[in-house]
Amino acid sequence: MPEVYNWHLGRKAYYPYQEAHPRWQFAFVFNTNRCIACQTCTMACKSTWTFSKGQEYMWWNNVETKPFGGYPQFWDVKGLQLLEEANPGGQIWSRNLRSKEAPHGKYEGVTIFEAAKKSPQREEVAVGYLPTEEEWRFPNIYEDTGVALPGKSGWWGKGAQLPEHQSWFFYLQRLCNHCTYPACLAACPRKAIYKRPEDGIVLIDQKRCRGYRKCMEQCPYKRPMFRTTTGVSEKCIACYPRIEGKDPLTNGLPMETRCMTACVGKIRLQGLVPIDGDGQWATERYNPLYYLVRVARVALPLYPQFGTEPNGYYIPPRWVPRAYLHQMFGPGVDEAIERYIAPDRELLAVLQLFRTDQRIIFRYKIEPGEKVFETTINGKKWEMYNDTAIGLDRDGKEIVRVKVEEPIHVRPDKHYNSI
């Protein structure tokens, strides 16, 4: 069985299926610091794709409150427990082994595929479990429920002081990660799951699927869901007609998905990244996703230790205890938060591009502006410039232009009390 290179882990990893890389990869970055849990994204997906009979409990996009919330319930705790059982105490990272190919260091533990290989009696390609019906019932259980850690001066202590709050929660936005090494695809005995060569979107062939639910069992993110009325599994389809430019709104240009474009908090940026001959993200320095993930390294994969190389990335919440975040996003957390708290000019400009246009931004340019603000962050001088971020479409045409400082519009008196 082939070994694949997983850059999230900084090493080769066992993947029990033939690796196949697309020409482009569907990917996204979420800024957890900005999410207000309005669930507009959730409803945008629901009202487009899963409003029919048999799909009542199906939420391809959901936003859960961490640490207690989960859909299905405790999906991540259960997945982490399976890794721990296979390799007790071994889920650690060697941060000192950082390099260009391993920007966050090397993962010394086992992935879901390697954990299954360690137990030869297991027949599955990956360790996993099938959630019970009850666990799927509550897409937003424990909403806004925080955890309180005992502080120096009692339970609540100095609860609201950075860098880590003693009492905290945060919102985690989730959908299928359209992984580079999908466990769902490797697990399917019917070979009903495939990764599209044109954009890396992972789909379940509804005609081939027989509802064995191996994908549900072995996807560590628990994104495939079973439909009782048809007896087959379904999952996020990355709104592929939009990615193909089939929506009349964009005149043939690739368009961001429903859950991405609906985002009220402007936390989402989704796009396509070119893939090189080695199956890695091609060096496309001014693709906003490439920049955020590979250059600024401010956005990190969700549970990289699972080993599927997910293509969803998260700017971690700045107030949450770091040990929790290290487990969730890997060892790059401190560096990512440090960069996010005091962004350089380029990062600050690119962060303005989130949710500015429905068309996919393939490249960006920055026009320098004047200095507008100065302060001290963590003892260091920090300056803000009113630069302009310009987003370009697939053909290199400008589609959006946004300044760092939001313009203030004063309503003239004649519009007072009118819309």
Residues at the interface with ligand SF4 (CB under 6 A): 35-41, 44-45, 49, 60-61, 63, 173, 175-179, 182-184, 202, 219, 221, 223-224, 235-239, 257-259, 262-265, 267-268, 308
When the beta carbons of 95 and 122 are compared against ligand SF4, the nearer one is 122
Closest separation in Å from C-beta 359 to ligand SF4: 16
Closest separation in Å from C-beta 331 to ligand SF4: 22
Specify the residue for token string 């990355």.
238
When the beta carbons of 259 and 392 are compared against ligand SF4, the nearer one is 259
In 213-264, the DSSP E strands lie at 225-227, 232-234
Closest separation in Å from C-beta 204 to ligand SF4: 9
The answer to whether residues 84 and 127 touch, using CB atoms and an 8 Å cutoff, is no
As a dihedral over the C-alpha atoms of residue 274, residue 240, residue 186, residue 14, rounded to 10 degrees, the angle is 20
Give, in order, the Cα–Cα distances in Å from 366 to each of 75, 283, 284, 343, 406.
41, 19, 16, 15, 16
Task: Tell me the Cα Rg of the chain.
Answer: 22
3-state secondary structure of 305: helix
What contacts 363, CB < 8 A, 6 or more positions away? Answer: 284, 286, 287, 288, 391, 392, 396
Closest separation in Å from C-beta 263 to ligand SF4: 3
Closest separation in Å from C-beta 381 to ligand SF4: 32
When the beta carbons of 115 and 237 are compared against ligand SF4, the nearer one is 237
When the beta carbons of 39 and 166 are compared against ligand SF4, the nearer one is 39
The answer to whether residues 15 and 4 touch, using CB atoms and an 8 Å cutoff, is yes
| Residue, CB closest to ligand SF4 | 265
Closest separation in Å from C-beta 214 to ligand SF4: 11
Quote the DSSP letter at residue 287. Answer: S
When the beta carbons of 68 and 385 are compared against ligand SF4, the nearer one is 68
The answer to whether residues 109 and 90 touch, using CB atoms and an 8 Å cutoff, is yes
Q: How far apart are CA 175 and CA 354, in angstroms?
A: 18
When the beta carbons of 33 and 287 are compared against ligand SF4, the nearer one is 33
